[in-house]
Homo-oligomer: A and B are copies of this chain.
Amino acid sequence: MSTDEKILKVAIDMIAKKGFKGATTKQIAEKASVSEMTLFRHFPNKKKILEAAIDRYYYSFQMKELFEHKLIWDLEKDLLMIAETYHKIMKKNKNVIKIAIQEGHNVPGLLEQVNKHPRQLKDLIIKYLEEMNKRELIINADYELTAMNFLYMSYGLFISRSFVSGEIITSLSEEDVIKGSVHVFIDHLTPNGVSEKIH
């Protein structure tokens, strides 16, 4: 691992944990097994370290490509796949998301960056539901509303488990909660249980 990468990796971990002010260049250098001088030789100042770290450790995915080939037009399996993918993306970007929550208004562009995935995902879910409706597999509904509620549910689960309470509130496993959330939406979108009763 290059010196740059070592520094950035430690930086994003520490800033996510302690905040931008709380993470000192000295500590970052130390944890990266690098002298503080080296750190400043690689980056002009602390703020640029954060920006570079976000740049390096924010994993951007093109939703379309992620899903295009995986959707099989089975509501349960598709929703489950979508939810699981969502959590995979969020977990990969956990540190950046934490930083966005606490430092969002000081790092220009960060909030928009972090909001790109949810917005993309929303659009994708809407399109998916519309197609499912065309195929007469789900009922009519306000799909934007449905998509947002599905996302908020996933988001709440993610934030709660990642940053606040761990498993203090419930002993249910993440997997079970995700499966449960999918079933809630299945009941919502196929109230009669099967496709032939739709319309």
Query: A: which residues have CB within 8 A of B?
Result: 17, 19-22, 100-102, 104-105, 111-112, 114-115, 118-119, 122, 142, 144-146, 148-149, 151-157, 159-160, 163-165, 168-170, 172, 176-177, 180-181, 183-185, 187-188, 191, 193
Contact = CB atoms under 8 A, between A and B. Distances in A.
Contacts of A145: 172, 176-177, 180
Contact of A187 (B152, B168, B170, B187): B187
16 contacts: A19-B102, A21-B22, A101-B101, A101-B102, A101-B159, A115-B169, A122-B170, A145-B177, A146-B180, A146-B184, A148-B177, A149-B153, A152-B160, A183-B188, A184-B185, A191-B193
A172 B144 contact: yes
B101 A164 contact: yes
A152 to B, nearest CB: 4
Given A149-B180, A159-B156, A168 B101 contact: no
A35 B156 CA distance: 41
A145 B156 CA distance: 14
A160 to B, nearest CB: 6
B155 A160 contact: yes
Contacts of A170: 122, 144, 148
Nearest 5 pairs of A and B residues by beta carbon: A156-B156, A152-B156, A155-B156, A21-B21, A145-B180
A142 B155 CA distance: 21
Contacts of A115: 164-165, 168-169
A118 B169 contact: yes
Contacts of A19: 19-22, 102
A100 B191 contact: no
Given A101-B101, A177-B145, A187-B191, A164 B21 contact: no
A104 B60 CA distance: 28
Given A159-B159, A185-B184, A111 B164 contact: yes
